[in-house]
Amino acid sequence: MKHEKIVECVPNFSEGRDESVIKEILKVIEESGCKILDHSMDPSHNRAVVTFVGNPEQVAEGAFNATKRASQLIDMEKHQGEHPRIGATDVIPFVPIHGVTMEECVELAKEVGKRIGEELGIPVYLYAKAATRPDRVRLPDIRKGEYEGLKEAIKTDPNRKPDFGPSELHPKAGATAVGARPPLIAFNVNLNTDDLKIAKTIARHIRESSGGLPCVQAKGIMIHELGLAQVTMNLLDYKTTPMHVVMSKIEEEAAAKGVEIVNSEIIGLVPLDALLDVSYARLKLKDFSRNRILDLLL
Amino acid sequence: MKHEKIVECVPNFSEGRDESVIKEILKVIEESGCKILDHSMDPSHNRAVVTFVGNPEQVAEGAFNATKRASQLIDMEKHQGEHPRIGATDVIPFVPIHGVTMEECVELAKEVGKRIGEELGIPVYLYAKAATRPDRVRLPDIRKGEYEGLKEAIKTDPNRKPDFGPSELHPKAGATAVGARPPLIAFNVNLNTDDLKIAKTIARHIRESSGGLPCVQAKGIMIHELGLAQVTMNLLDYKTTPMHVVMSKIEEEAAAKGVEIVNSEIIGLVPLDALLDVSYARLKLKDFSRNRILDLLL
């Protein structure tokens, strides 16, 4: 494993009800040499999320072929759902996992975006770390007006001109955002209280948007099955704000309210380094690297 | 990696000066399909330690062939060194690393021990988890009298009769201890003090032999290059006493003396699970397993 380059790709497709469509898409991803790690469909969002990995060449091929297949199977003229979207393949993030830099994933996004634009005739907006302008870093800015609104704006507003492909939406597949970003960790912390207000206050204190920890999104919710309040989070960049820093901050905030952390959970997958960073910090390890971990030497 | 069985083997050979001998031994280990992870020679001990890994079959073959080669190249009649020893291949521990139980490593020790006894005519004592009697669990008990003393005792003392092989030492290679044990972690913690007494007191409080933490060996030493006192440890079973438990105990003991931990170091290799256990504890993670770690899914 140690010499291998691993990129994760987490495309979102505008089909969350007809499983046969997603199966067709998973098939072309696998045929491109990639490994599917996870997929989920949400009927109310009418949207599917697929997680797959491979080396950069495989992932580029898988993302392109999936977008092509989705453009044949999904018709945005007929699509309705709660989640904002601009196309059949709504968004394609490339995520560096192992042996790959963010810069390489930005290049991958540009290369795949260019192919989607030129070969499939689907307009592409580069986003996140691959964005070519500040107002394209965040997906909500790119999705403004959604599929329906973008149909006109892409032709008339120079600010909505895509990075690749034609300045008009693909008749069925719409447009696609393609980008590069760090791995996202869905991390939830349960408190030993049923007081939702406490979780909401802690969430407000730790999330970046309220002046808390960088690259942390958080909200307080109630987990009724457990009768416990929870701080539910997306950690957008564990290198910037590691998991143990989040834990320490929540512990501190909780203690100030007289409550404690019961336990925590990770939803979906987590990069190994995100967990190892927690160990290194707890042990105050110096001069350590992954090539001293026995299992990883094989 | 996830479906593979991995066993580590750390044989000690009674040659710490002539590198050509160790090279010959490394060669047969590699030819047996094993991967050498580390080797070191100590001239004053006149002893070499080799770390290699492979699946159970490969490691069994590597350990047997190394013992055979060592019996041809090392003459215990001429051996002198500070470290206690009974044979050319003095000790062979098998260590379960991944996908293998301790019981399988005990079976491996018995199988390899039997072959060494029967095919090479070298008496074998099973030790540690593979021991057949309580007075053979610890190596110092097996090495009592060393090569020179065992020469007579093995013939006359029924308690020294080996588990496999003849009841007399091999004329050049002596005898060998073969066993199974958990991975050993060499873990050192530096304190922000040059007071050696503090490190010695902490070491006494945490080591098992003085009533401290189970499976922890510890002593206090002075690191003159850094001007810092250090607690230097062998963690004999990280499942019984995890690394973070050791850290917490040292932190507590250090605080009582008004000092703090500066940093720590791991000497040699460490199993991935030993580090992951530290993360899980720090994050209070529930319902988590290695198949949720992205990098390990490939």
pLDDT in tens, B91-129: 999 999 889 999 999 999 999 999 999 999 999 999 999
Rg (C-alpha) for chain A, rounded Å, is: 20
Please give the structure tokens belonging to residue A59: 């992932």
Question: Do both B172 and B282 map to the same domain?
Answer: no
| Domain at B74, CATH number | 3.30.990.10
DSSP state of B51: E
Answer whether A106's CB lies under 8 Å from A113's CB: no
Report strand pairing: B124-128 vs B176-180: parallel
- What CA–CA distances, in Å, run from B31 to A39, B15, B35, B115? 43, 21, 9, 18
pLDDT in tens, chain B (298 residues): 445 899 999 999 999 999 999 999 999 999 999 999 989 898 888 999 999 999 999 999 999 999 999 999 999 999 998 889 999 999 999 999 889 999 999 999 999 999 999 999 999 999 999 999 999 999 989 999 999 999 999 999 999 999 999 999 999 999 999 999 999 998 999 999 999 999 999 999 999 999 999 999 999 999 888 999 999 999 999 999 999 999 999 999 999 999 999 999 998 889 999 999 999 999 999 989 998 898 888 7
Cα distance between residue B157 and residue B138, in whole Å: 18
Please give the structure tokens belonging to residue A79: 């699509």
B-contacting residues in A 201-230 (Cβ below 8 Å): none
| Final residue of a structural domain among A142, A160, A180 | A180
Per the structure, the complete domain to which residue A249 belongs is given by 185-292
**Residue matched to tokens 């120079």:** A158
Looking at the DSSP bridge assignments, the partners of residue A185 are A235
Chain A CB contacts of B269 below 8 Å: 292-294, 297
How many structural domains comprise chain B? 2
Inform me whether the C-beta atom of residue B119 falls under 8 Å from chain A C-beta atoms. Answer: no
* A281 occurs within a structural domain: yes
Chain A CB contacts of B263 below 8 Å: 284-286
Question: Do both A149 and A31 map to the same domain?
Answer: yes
What's the pLDDT score for residue A75? Answer: 98
Q: Is B244 a catalytic residue?
A: no
Q: Which of A282, A286, A291, A297 to mutate to test the interface with B (most CBs of B within 10 A)?
A: A282
Chain B CB contacts of A275 below 8 Å: 275-276, 279-280, 293
* B69 occurs within a structural domain: yes
Among chain B residues, CA nearest to A293: B270
Inform me whether the C-beta atom of residue B138 falls under 8 Å from chain A C-beta atoms. Answer: no
DSSP 3-state of B202: helix
Question: Do both A42 and A161 map to the same domain?
Answer: yes
What's the pLDDT score for residue B3? Answer: 58
Of A162, A237, A179, nearest to A63 by C-alpha is: A179
User: Across the interface, which of A35, A283, A294 has its CB nearest the CB of B8?
Assistant: A294
Rg (C-alpha) for chain B, rounded Å, is: 20
**Residue matched to tokens 């009974």:** B86
Residues of chain A where predicted confidence (pLDDT) is lower than 70: 1-3
Chain B CB contacts of A293 below 8 Å: 269-272, 275
pLDDT in tens, A262-289: 999 998 889 999 999 999 999 999 989 9
Question: Do both A212 and A126 map to the same domain?
Answer: no
Residue % of chain B over a pLDDT of 70: 99
Report strand pairing: B185-191 vs B261-267: antiparallel
Question: Do both A159 and A267 map to the same domain?
Answer: no
Question: Do both A147 and A276 map to the same domain?
Answer: no
| Final residue of a structural domain among B160, B180, B200 | B180
What's the pLDDT score for residue B1? Answer: 47
What's the pLDDT score for residue A1? Answer: 47
> Across the interface, do A269 and B296 touch by the CB < 8 Å criterion?
no
Question: Do both B119 and B223 map to the same domain?
Answer: no
Question: Do both A243 and A175 map to the same domain?
Answer: no
User: Whole-model pTM?
Assistant: 0.82
* A1 occurs within a structural domain: no
* B298 occurs within a structural domain: no
> Across the interface, do A286 and B266 touch by the CB < 8 Å criterion?
no
Number of H helices, E strands in chain B: 8, 11
* B117 occurs within a structural domain: yes
